[in-house]
Amino acid sequence: MAETSYRVLYRKYRPQIFGEVIGQNTIVTALKQSVKNSTFAHAYVFTGPRGTGKTSTAKIMAKAINCESPIDGEPCGKCQSCINFKTSPDIIEIDAASNNGVDEIRELRTNIALAPSSSKYKVYIIDEVHMLSAGAFNALLKTLEEPPSHVVFILATTEVYKIPITILSRCQRLDFKKISENDMTNYLKIICQKEKINCTEEALDEIYNLSEGCLRDALSILDQLLKSSSEINMDTVLERYELISTKTIDELLSATKNGNVKTIIETIDQLMTNGYNVQRLIRRLIVHIEKECINIKLKNQKKYSYQMLKKLIFSLNELYTESRINDNTYTMLKIAFLDSIEDEIKHENVRTTVTNQPKQMDIIDIRINNCFVEANKQALKQLLDFWNNFDKKTKIDIDINEYKPVASSGKYAIFVSEDESLVDLFNIKKEQIENFFQKSNMAIKVISVVEERWMQEKNKYKENIKRGVKYNYVDEPVIKPKEEDETIKQIFDDEIVEVS
């Protein structure tokens, strides 16, 4: 009972006046104005995606220009012309998709000169006009070159680039936009209220995604859903259209984040076994990940790394395009997720070297890390100047020519040497070296590594900076009293040597 009345929502809610056309305000305002001022063109091209209101608007326009007393550019709905509009022989609809239109256009050319039978204007609405054959276009062009004053053409098309330029140049072109999510869901809400349908906001968003901005599709989806229940929620939509649930998407993303390969493979295999439409699946993943990305930047949510989501959304987008010609989309979908794990885990590894607790890092790790916190070229240049102009008489237990400063922050400095044993010597004598710096008013902590290690550290640093990882100071482990005594003794001894 209720079911049958619901089934025709699209017909039932077809807009009857300009004010009822959804999401095309600019076009509708311009057309109303032209009706009001009688300045409308004699040939229009309405172009735009399917289901955006082109044909409906064409019919309203035909009604409005024939209306005996239009109200603010809108058809009055009460005059003879408005009342008889649907059966008027002067409104001629041609569907160019049904055949190539040669016969229709030929007939059009024969009859076009005849005055309208009961209206002010004969209106020819040619749907899918890009489907006309070359011959039909030629015939149409001849008509457009010298159109009788009682004729208006409205050519509607989803593929305007297929229309010959000679035709286009004789028409006023209006571009219909894809209906926005906001416009569409607001409109669906109004219909739900009128029809006493219980539909959750979440489900409305999902209907919009499924319709891809096509109102006709959105209403037919609503019709379909109402066949099983007058209550529509997310589950109803997911079940009827075999869509992946938000919960499953979250599980997939968490598995990717945690490198849980088994879960990824099992989840995607399950979706494939259930026969989910893979294109619809990818589209839903893209829409979901887009929202997650925005949340990270907008609300600083840290549920998933932005890098991981970005990588994933790029792969999925590519996959979506290829899926039209590729049979292995499910396999590629797995790889897209697996690919994003590897990156994420690599990312984590790089980060842990910086944020690990001091007890897991030795003094070399800590000083390298601390040097990177504020390392800069200026500090390195100063250190190099100082190091190269070293006073040769200074007593120090290392041969300074064996060591080269490679990084400095002014507080920490890194020196490389060719030989592991030279590095060890430097690190054993580091307090002595620091003490030496101290005398020149340089409070600097030093460490040495071999060239190879330095190259690794430098690359890791560059990668971290690129990924936006911040370096923070790590405390050095507290030296046990015994060692401290020895250190002090060593420094003290050295000082005595220096002074003498």
Q: Which residues bind Zn ion (CB under 5 A)?
A: 67, 75-76, 79, 82
**Which CB sits closer to Zn ion, 48 or 73?**
73
The CB-of-76 to Zn ion minimum distance in angstroms stands at 3
The CB-of-117 to Zn ion minimum distance in angstroms stands at 17
Check if the beta carbon of residue 211 is closer than 8 Å to that of residue 51.
yes
**Which CB sits closer to Zn ion, 79 or 234?**
79
Phi, psi for residue 362 in degrees, rounded to 5: -85, 175
Residue 85 identity (one-letter amino acid): F
Distance CA 428, CA 423 (A): 9
Check if the beta carbon of residue 309 is closer than 8 Å to that of residue 337.
no
**Which CB sits closer to Zn ion, 82 or 126?**
82
The CB-of-120 to Zn ion minimum distance in angstroms stands at 11
The CB-of-73 to Zn ion minimum distance in angstroms stands at 12
Closest CA to 56 of 150, 122, 132, 154: 154
**Which CB sits closer to Zn ion, 79 or 102?**
79
Q: Give 288-330 as a DSSP string.
A: HHHHHHHHHHHH---SS-HHHHHHHHHHHHHHHHHTTT-S-HH
Alpha helices in 146-200 (DSSP H): 165-168, 181-195
The CB-of-289 to Zn ion minimum distance in angstroms stands at 50
The CB-of-77 to Zn ion minimum distance in angstroms stands at 6
The residue whose two tokens read 């460490």 is 447
Strand partners, 282: none
Q: Give 436-496 as a DSSP string.
A: HHHHTT---EEEEEEHHHHHHHHHHHHHHHHTTPPP---PPPPPPHHHHHHHHHHHHHHHH
**Which helix or strand (DSSP H or E) is residue 364 part of?**
helix 363-374
**Which CB sits closer to Zn ion, 85 or 426?**
85
**Which CB sits closer to Zn ion, 79 or 384?**
79
The CB-of-90 to Zn ion minimum distance in angstroms stands at 14
**Which CB sits closer to Zn ion, 65 or 132?**
65
